[in-house]
Each structure stands twice: as structure tokens, then as C-alpha cells.
Amino acid sequence: MTLHRRMRLVFWSLILAYSVIFLTLYVLLKVPNNLRVVPFEMEKTVRPYAREIARSDVKICRRGVKDSSRMARYEEAYEAWRDGLPRRNATFNCSPKNHILFRKVHKCGSTTLANIFLRYAFLNNLRVVPFSFNLAPNQKYDILAHHCGFNETRFQKALPKDVFKMGLVREPFSKFKSAFFFYQRRLESTLPFSSDNHLKEFLINYDKWSQSLKLPVGIRRNSMSQEMGTYHEGLRRNRTDLKAFLNNLSNYYDFVAIQDRTDESLVLLRRRLCWDLRDIVYRRKLTGKYNAESFVDSELITRHKTSDSVDFALYNYFNNKLMKEIAQQNNDFYVELQYFKQLNGQITEFCEQPRTIRSNSVLEVERSPWSAGFTVDDCFCSLMTDIMEFKRWKN
């Protein structure tokens, strides 16, 4: 065999090998057209029917605007993606509630829930009360989901009469630890700490320090009660007034979620609002890491229960109310809860992949008794974290 023929043989062998590799990759990456639909069955162990599918033509929300620091440019990309989404299927025999009042409560996981409401507003073209509260004249909004003082007059001016009012509370001592370490640098730079246990020293000197310095809202005494309603210091001493305070809040709020029972709260909320499971999936936001155990002892816990007695009463009241509502649900509540936990875990795992991986794949979630089928892609994942930064909310 001549050298020339050998070179031609090697050349065509390489062409054939590269062709086989290319075709193999194409088949693996292309969305299959014959996906088998797995019918939902009530099993003892329910798993979400979700599958990850490699796909090369998934739109990347930030394509073309990666170098821009202006979120407004990102919003345009998200809008283009949203407008291509299929409309909500008629999954339930009820109409979704689109008017929501949710006042964020500091250090209670409220940013996670606010993301859910803002994402719902964006995907359904609803009007959101601006964070600045600069209201357009003679205009009603659909959703309020940010920090603001308790002002019923302003709420009535901004929102329709049929607004669904939602609150949020957290186990008080857990919230206190979270708030203290969140504000730790700020507190230690302004307060004259002299001991090693700054948590305990803060509680001991709270009355003196709170009078001379303006403490952050989230670390103030009974801060949840202050943010949830018309709090006053007399509630700490008068049990009759405290009982009336809690009853008034219970009558005012249509639903109060418990941060320690986020999944249970969201499943109940979905049922109350006639929403879809896609509407309540979440990724936790602003979760801090700290080690407070070396500072915690029985004296600190007792001091905090005395100091924040109204918040403890508030938490116990609404936690008991939530548990009673759960006990009144049918058995399918627990099936849905298990399904939602597993589904949300899958979506979180998918969305926490490196962007270079998830931008070329999607997670297909098939229809269930609580949701129409939907697709989780790079845009959906990014929207779950970017939504709070949209400029339209801040005008």
C-alpha cells in the first residue's frame, strides 16, 4: 500500500470516528420526542415525576446582557422568556387569588416567601406595590411583598378590598440568635460590650442601650409583634390586653405561616389561594451561618423568654392555630406535603448546579393532582434568585 493511500485511509477513518462521536452527542443532547408519560399513582412512598433532559436549545435569560450591570436589561430578557411560557392549565375547580398583602418580618425567612409572591406577580403580569410606596394616583395594586410599617390606611389605599392578608412568625429564640449574629458587627461597633457572652450582655443591658441607641428593627424586643400589628409595651404586663392583641391579629390575618414549618405552611397556603405547586417552589434566601451554642445556657434562655414574652405568646398562638388547621386536612394533605418536599428538593438540586451545566438542560415536572406539568430551566432558576432585584419593584 502506497503512502498516499495510507494517508487517505487514515483521513477517512478520522472523519468516520468524528461523525460517530458527533451523532452520539446529538442524540444524547437532543430532547427526545417520544418521552413516556408516567401516570401519577397514589403510592405509599410518593416521588415527584421529574426528569432531567439535556437540551442544546434552551434559552439563557441573560444571553446578550451578561456584561450589563443594569437589572432592567435582565428584566427584558426575563419578559421575553415569560411571554413564551404556556398559560396555566385549569387544574382545580376554583379561581386563584391574585391579591396578596404580605409584610416582610425581619429575620423570619420572609425574603424566601417574598420571592414566591414576586415571582407569581411577574409570571402573571400582576401589579406590585413599589418598595418605596410611591403609589400611582387612582391605581390599585395586586400584591404587596416587602418591609413596611403597619398602616392600614395605606394598605386600603393601595390594595383591593378582597386582598388576602398573610403574616409570618418564627420560634423567638431561634430568631433572636439569627438576628443577633446578622447584626453582630453593627452591634459590636456601637455597643460597649465588656464580657465574652455578648448575647447575654445584650439582654441584660437592653433597656439602657435601647434608650440611648437606635437598634435595628429585627433585634428589638418583641420585634415580631411590633411588625405584625399595633404593639405596645403594656402587653408584657397585662394578660388581658395580650389576649385581645392576639385575637385582633387572628381576625386581621387570613393566614399566618410558621417559618419552622415552611413546607406545611406553603402547602396550606397553596390550597387557600388555589395556586399551582409551581407557584410555591422556593430556594431559601439570606440564610446565615453562625455558631451560638457556646453562648447559650439556661440563664440566657430564661432571660430571653422574659424579655420577649409577647413574641413567645404570638408564636405559640399561631403555631397552635396552624397545627389545628393541619389536623383538619384530609389524608391527601400529607401525600401532597411529601410530594412537595421531594419535588422542591429536586428543583433546588437542579438549580444549584453550575450555570454552565444547567443552561443546557431542563427539569421536566409531570402533571400531578396538585399541579399542571411544568418545566424548570435556567431562566426559572435564575428568576427564583433575581426577582427581588427587579427595578420595577423599587420605583
313-334 pLDDT tens trace: 999 999 999 999 999 999 899 9
CA atoms within 13 A on the CB side of 168: 26
Task: Report the side by side order of strands in the sheet with 374-376.
Answer: 50-54, 361-365, 374-376
The one-character DSSP state at 230 is: -
Q: What is the per-residue pLDDT across 249-298, written as a single tens digit (0 to 9) for each?
A: 999 999 999 999 999 999 999 999 999 899 999 987 655 555 666 677 78
- Of the pLDDT bands very low, low, confident and very high (cuts 50, 70, 90), residue 68 is very low
| Predicted pLDDT of residue 187 | 84
Residue 303 has pLDDT above 50, yes or no: yes
Distances (CA, A) of 230 to 28, 70, 242, 244, 252: 60, 39, 11, 11, 12
120-162 pLDDT, tens per residue?
998 898 999 988 888 888 889 999 998 887 788 888 999 999 9
- Tens of pLDDT, residues 45-62: 455 666 666 554 445 555
As a whole number, the mean pLDDT across the chain is 80
Which DSSP category does 32 fall into? P
pLDDT at 119 over 60: yes
Distance between first and last Cα of the chain: 78
81-104: per-residue pLDDT in tens? 777 776 554 456 788 999 999 988
d(CA 96, CA 353): 32
Distance between CA 196 and CA 393 in Å, rounded?
42
**pLDDT at residue 44, rounded to an integer:** 47
Split at pLDDT 50, 70, 90, the class of 299 is: confident
As a whole number of angstroms, the distance between CA 316 and CA 256 comes to: 12
pLDDT value, residue 260: 92
Rounded CA gap, 355 and 234, in Å? 53
Q: What share of the chain in percent tops pLDDT 90?
A: 31
Indicate the pairing of strand 50-54 with strand 361-365: antiparallel
pLDDT number for residue 292: 62
Residue 162 · residue 307 · CB < 8 Å: no
**pTM to 2 decimals?**
0.81
What is the rounded CA–CA span in Å between residue 128 and residue 392? 8
At position 45, the amino acid (one-letter code) is T
Q: What are the structural domain ranges in the chain?
A: 1-30, 31-73+330-381, 91-329
In angstroms, the CA 143 to CA 378 distance is 26
| Distance separating alpha carbons of residues 127 and 119, to the nearest angstrom | 12
Q: Is 197 exposed, middle or buried (0-12, 13-18, 19+ CB in 10 A)?
A: middle
pLDDT digits (tens, 9 = 90+) for 24-39: 554 344 433 322 333 3
Q: Report pLDDT for 251.
A: 96
Distance of CA 3 to the CA centre of its chain: 68
Residue 52 in grid coordinates: 432531567
Q: Per CATH, which fold does 91-329 belong to?
A: Rossmann fold (3.40.50)
